[in-house]
Amino acid sequence: MNRGDWHFVVYGYDIDYFGVMFAEAVEAGGVEYVADPVSHYSGSRAVGVFHRLCEHPRLRRMLHLDGHSIWRRWLIGDYVDVGKRLCFVFLMRWLKPGNEDLFLTIRRRYPDAMIVVYLEDLYETGVNLDYSMMTRHADLVVSYDKGDAAKHGFLYYPTFLSAVSLPACGKKHTDVAFCGASKQRYDLIVRTYEALVSRGLECDFMVSRLHPGQKKAGGIRYIRYLIPYQEYLSHVMRSDCLLEIMQDNATGYTLRTWEAILYDKVLLTNNKAIKEAPFYNPEQFIYFETPDDIPGCLSSGRQVHNPYSGNLSPVKFFDFLASRLS
């Protein structure tokens, strides 16, 4: 079947850059992005905010609320007359144990619908998820990471991203930009920052979610969690080079890779798999194993326009799903 035969409903997150990931597919038609089901299906942002307040674990314990039954009517939309085959696509954080009833309701209300789970992060990061729900409910499981897909028997499809048009940014120019959570890579982030600064490069580093015992380093900006994606992109646009530091055991291509391609930036990365990528160009992608390997000149005079940008559209992801759904 072709993508045009399907209506895809994506259960994502109320975080703006995930909406950006799918934006081109939504604009092309046949794809609906649901960041917050209660807000989306009730048509009221206020109702969604009230729902999240009532679902706060502490409030539920205090008031003995069974929030799931209260909000059930707005967890899934009415697609009886959609006129196409239905496919619900869930990002991995929807596999929380409390969401089992959502999958059961889909199977009961739309018995012919297909369910896909897309793991946009490493399998091992889902410590609070119930992966057995995939076995019970998913028709397809797809991972962004080739190694994870091979290890767990999932289909593989790399991360995708929609381009965003931004006005020219007149703020201060920087050589290298990095934004990300500390995770288990914080020591490497700091050592890389220090190596870049020692080479006389102007760095724009933002790090979130320090773990207990991790100390702040001078010159790095620390943020609580996330900044709006458009604000983050303003940092991208005024930098010549983006830094990508992979999680341990990850081999998939991240948003930093796609941002480098979409916005004509050099990428400094410790992802060894980049050298085998179909879009690899040594002028654009600079691999390093340790911070000592990083050259002193990262972007001067480099022509980095990459024609692979046409392959990054989320529309191709739904073509991929349509080709594998019966």
Query: What percentage of the chain has pLDDT greater than the value 70?
Result: 87
Q: What's the confidence (pLDDT) of residue 56?
A: 62
Residues sharing a CB contact under 8 Å with residue 235, sequence separation 6 or more, in sequence order: 174, 177, 179, 204, 206
Contact between residue 161 and residue 258 where contact means Cβ atoms under 8 Å apart: yes
Q: What is the pLDDT of residues 176-207, one digit of tens each?
A: 999 999 988 999 999 999 999 999 999 999 99
Q: Which amino acid is at 14?
A: D
287 vs 301 pLDDT, higher one: 287
Share of the chain above pLDDT 90, in %: 67
Q: How much is the pLDDT for 74? A: 74
Model confidence over 34-88: pLDDT tens digits? 998 878 777 666 665 666 666 666 666 665 555 555 666 678 899 988 999 999 9
For residue 110, the one-letter residue type is Y
Q: What is the pLDDT, as a whole number, of residue 36?
A: 86
Instruction: Summarize pLDDT for 212-259 with one digit per residue, the tens.
Output: 889 999 999 999 877 889 889 999 999 999 999 998 777 788 899 999
| pLDDT at res. 251 | 79
Lowest mean pLDDT among 4-8, 44-48, 101-105, 196-200: 44-48
* Token pair belonging to 218: 């001078």
Q: What is the pLDDT of residue 61?
A: 60
Which residue type occupies 43?
G
Alpha-carbon gap, residue 314 to 25, rounded angstroms: 6
Rounded average pLDDT over 95-107? 93
Question: From the CB of residue 284, how many other CB atoms can be counted at a distance below 10 Å?
Answer: 22
Residue 206: φ, ψ to 5°? -130, 125
Q: What is the pLDDT of residues 11-28, one digit of tens each?
A: 999 889 899 999 999 999
- pLDDT, residue 52, reads 65
| pLDDT for res 248 | 79
Which among 244, 229, 235, 277 is positioned nearest to 22, based on CA atoms? 229
pLDDT of residue 303: 67
Please say if the pLDDT value at position 165 is more than 80: no
pTM: 0.84
Q: What is the pLDDT of residue 298?
A: 76
User: For position 59, what pLDDT does the model report?
Assistant: 60
